[in-house]
């Protein structure tokens, strides 16, 4: 999925945490740390940071897509679809949002068909 080592990811988390301490109102720092948490597989921590980033700057690119993917990873599919729809509305050229939303819609369709058996 990525070419970063766990050490590099840990350093990004450490550095962005320091930047948040210095400037707690900079939404980009929360987004950076959230992406690092995502690569580390710490999805709940990523969501917490993405919530903060969205609260500080609802227009910051990448926040809704990343949070939608984190909800997907946590199997919170309703929240995932909601965020991915918002991501697509705000940033229609981000393929990842369409991909995950498509997977969710496909899974939903399959489960509806199975329940009809």
Q: Answer whether residue 22 is part of any domain.
A: yes
Distance (Å, whole) CA 57 – CA 90: 13
Number of domains in the chain: 1
Cα–Cα distance, 58 to 87 (Å, whole number): 11
Query: To 10 degrees, what angle do helices 63-73 and 95-115 make?
Result: 30
Average pLDDT on 16-31 reads: 98
pLDDT at 20: 98
pLDDT at 116 over 60: no
Query: Are residues 78 and 106 in contact, defined by beta-carbon separation less than 8 angstroms?
Result: no
Domain for residue 1, yes or no? no
pTM for the whole thing?
0.88
- pLDDT-derived band of residue 111, with 50, 70 and 90 as boundaries? low
Predicted pLDDT at 26: 98
Pair of tokens at residue 5: 């080592």
Separation of alpha carbons 93 and 8, rounded Å: 28
Expressed as residue numbers, the domain containing 97 is: 6-115
Among 108, 54, 106, smallest CA distance to 78 is for 108
Q: What is the pLDDT of residues 27-78, one digit of tens each?
A: 999 999 999 999 999 999 999 999 999 999 999 999 999 999 999 999 999 9
């Amino acid at each position: 999925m990525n070419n970063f080592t766990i050490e590099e990811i840990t350093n990004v988390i450490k550095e962005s945490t320091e930047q948040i301490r210095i400037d707690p109102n900079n939404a980009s720092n929360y987004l950076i740390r959230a992406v690092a948490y995502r690569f580390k597989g710490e999805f709940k921590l990523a969501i917490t940071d993405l919530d903060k980033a969205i609260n500080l700057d609802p227009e910051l690119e990448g926040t809704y897509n990343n949070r939608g993917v984190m909800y997907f990873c946590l199997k919170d599919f309703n929240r995932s679809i909601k965020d991915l729809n918002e991501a697509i509305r705000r940033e229609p050229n981000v393929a990842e949002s369409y991909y995950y939303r498509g997977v969710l819609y496909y899974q939903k369709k399959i489960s509806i068909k199975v329940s009809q058996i």
